[in-house]
Amino acid sequence: MKKLFYLFCIATTLISCYAQEKKIELVAPSVFAQKMEEDSGQVIDVRTPKEYKGGHIDGAVNLHVYDKNFDARLDSLDKNKTVYVYCKAGGRSAEAVESMKTKGFIHIVELDGGMDAWKEAGKPVKQ
């Protein structure tokens, strides 16, 4: 009976860990746009405010990754909702993704190639 109880406890633990597994995706602009249409998640632009004002993806919120309040601002987001993140070319968004993973975000979609790739693909930019 003890063995059955221990087996049940192990199985429950594994199932609960699997259910909370994080999903991180690095996707092309067309897939990024499609996923944003299908799922009304949180869109985060981690570039500087000046870059953001120069043009951004519609609906994006500017959370500059090197801002001293970046971590606190991440804490204000819903960790259980999908987060779409991008920067200019991909470096800063990769750093932001690492921070988000550490903070327990469940589903993160990163734009491969950043805003440069977005523009190159002819996707709309909001001024």
Report the candidate in 125, 73, 60 with the shortest Cα–Cα distance to residue 103: 73
pTM: 0.81
pLDDT by residue (tens digit) across 20-64? 567 999 999 999 999 999 988 899 999 999 999 999 999 999 999
CATH topology assigned to domain 21-120: Oxidized Rhodanese; domain 1 (3.40.250)
Q: Please answer whether residues 26 and 110 qualify as being in contact, where contact means their C-beta atoms are separated by less than 8 angstroms.
A: yes
Are 42 and 85 in contact by the 8 Å Cβ rule? The answer is no
pLDDT in tens, 90-113: 999 999 999 999 999 999 999 999
Of residues 14 and 10, the one with the higher pLDDT is 10
Q: Do the beta carbons of residue 35 and residue 57 sit within 8 Å?
A: no
